[in-house]
Chain A
Amino acid sequence: MPYQSVAAVYKLVKAPIYSHCFSQDKSLLAVTCKNDCLVYRFDNGPAPQLVATLANHDKTVTAVDISIHGRILTCSQDRNAYVWEPLSDGTYKPTLVLLRINRAATCVSWAPNGYKFAVGSSARIIAVCYYEQENNWWVSKHIKKPIKSTVQCLSWHANGVLLASGGTDGFMRIFSGFIKGLDNKESVAGSPWGEKFPFGSLIREFYHGSYIEDVQWRSSVEKVGYVSHEGALTVVDYANNHAKVNAPDGLPFNALLWINDHEILCAGFSNHPVLFAESGANQWQFAKDIDKVIASASSPIASGNEDLDESEDANGNGTFGISALRKFKQLDLKGKVSTDVKETAHENTITQLLPYAEANGQVSKVSACGLDGKVVIYNI
């Protein structure tokens, strides 16, 4: 078969991976694992090698991101974030970020230029952090109002100023993350989203209702896509146009990724990604499943038993004990719903989608991590 939807599967850890990130040249992979962040190198042979364990956090690491300069950013439920500067001997030098929050940090995102980043938290705060030369540490400015609950996801616009966020209060909000001395006003000149962008101002908010699990900008068409816990993808733009489409199987989504200006990949509790396509002005629809279990002649438990009975009749009843053992062995479904279902590459919920290969605004390969401790590369 020329087209394979799964390009590679890496079973890395025996714990859920909440977040992962490849370096710019795809030679390094950072994944969260319990209280640590693990860094793998990919250049020698097909199997990734563990090269570093970033172990400063003392509670679950919730998110990781790598900047264009190779700095690894981690945040954790211990309310801290660290920036890990790569050293020439392959180790990393941690710098604590002064987040000033009293709840868990939930998500991180480097700005496209790699000089600042945003951290979302359960303290209803987005901390926008940048490096201060005089003090030699990363300081943060807070965006507080009008966030009412945990911030679950963040996304920077390509201009590095507009910051989209979503959370458990059911709002998708767009803030300005403009830092004086770091950003210049030309990057947002002529933006359709507004005229002035002082730091922390609320540019736009969209009410959705359920938990917003992931949000992502598509800067080239000035649109924002977000997925929510009831299993829906919503796309909005600066004119407040609003398009919503439901997951084909009704299960919640955790992640989305723009494939190009007119296609979005979503994934979540159904263990495989789903592609949606724009079908008209402000209309989106389901396009296809990727790596879906083919339920051809699916045999639920009941029909599986019938097959078993038939084969037993054929064998006769001579060796009663053996056939009883065999019967129980075959009845054991090992946690599956039916006996002959092909496994998806991810065996549990997918938690994050990131572009792996991209050319001319078209993503051709996607990396995904999940609660099964795997990172999977999909062909689109």
Chain B
Amino acid sequence: MSDWRRIDIDAFDPESGRLTKQDVQPPHASQITLQEITPKISQLRSLASSGDSKSAVALAVSDPPYSGDENTKAEYFKAVLETLTQVRQADIAGVVSGLTSEQQDTLVKYLYKGMSIPEGQKQGGILLAWFERVTQVAGVRPVSHFINDRNTV
């Protein structure tokens, strides 16, 4: 019993009430499916390829599929990443300052998501360039919102 300090006492208490993943999930009224988000993804792709980077990014970071499952979120993220990588470096600052503060918050969520998965890490330099511009415009607010928000992208 020399290691008694390391005993997980909560494991012996059925009412310990340790938080589970479900407990911290926000209460969504309904779940968005991949089919429902597909039109938005194709709209995003066509906007991005037409070169209208401003409205493409604004659309990408508006009303993201918070309530979707992992697959839906991953598909949507792919489209967002494509949109972000198609914007020219010189245009980034202009696009960022044209976003509302909620859109900036969402943008930072996608930047962190990108940096956490291999697909995004391949474009790490671009994501960091976006991140630099957002924090120049909005300060630490989007970052602290990202850390605290349980609506994940």
Is A217 part of the contact surface with B, judged by Cβ < 8 Å?
no
**For residue B142, which residues in chain A have a CB less than 8 angstroms away from its CB?**
250
CB atoms of A148 and B151 under 8 A apart: no
CB atoms of B17 and A210 under 8 A apart: no
Q: Which one, B138, B141, B150, contacts A209 given CB within 8 A?
A: B150
Binary contact readout A228-260 vs B (1 if CB under 8 angstroms, 0 otherwise): 111100000000000000110111100000000
In the complex, residue of chain B having the shortest beta-carbon distance to the beta carbon of A170: B150
Shortest C-beta distance, B27 to chain A (Å), equals: 6
How many residues in B have their beta carbons less than 8 Å from beta carbons of A? 20
Is B26 part of the contact surface with A, judged by Cβ < 8 Å?
yes
Complex CA distance for A211 and B19, rounded to whole angstroms? 14
Is A328 part of the contact surface with B, judged by Cβ < 8 Å?
no
**For residue A210, which residues in chain B have a CB less than 8 angstroms away from its CB?**
148-150
In the complex, residue of chain B having the shortest beta-carbon distance to the beta carbon of A147: B17
Is B24 part of the contact surface with A, judged by Cβ < 8 Å?
yes
In the complex, residue of chain A having the shortest beta-carbon distance to the beta carbon of B140: A250
CB atoms of A207 and B26 under 8 A apart: yes
Is B144 part of the contact surface with A, judged by Cβ < 8 Å?
yes
Within 8 A of A (CB), among B37-82: none
CB atoms of A209 and B26 under 8 A apart: yes
Is A149 part of the contact surface with B, judged by Cβ < 8 Å?
yes
Complex CA distance for A207 and B142, rounded to whole angstroms? 20
**15 A–B contacts from the bound complex (CB under 8 Å):** A124-B17, A149-B23, A170-B26, A207-B26, A209-B150, A210-B150, A211-B148, A229-B144, A230-B144, A231-B141, A249-B141, A250-B139, A250-B145, A252-B144, A252-B148
| Chain A positions near chain B (C-beta within 8 angstroms) | 124, 148-149, 169-170, 207, 209-211, 228-231, 246-247, 249-252
Query: A229-B144, A250-B145 are known contacts; what are 18 more A-B pairs with Cβ within 8 Å?
Result: A148-B17, A149-B23, A169-B23, A169-B24, A170-B26, A207-B26, A209-B26, A209-B148, A209-B149, A209-B150, A209-B151, A210-B148, A211-B148, A228-B148, A230-B148, A246-B141, A247-B141, A250-B142
| Chain B positions near chain A (C-beta within 8 angstroms) | 17, 19, 23-24, 26-27, 101, 138-145, 147-151
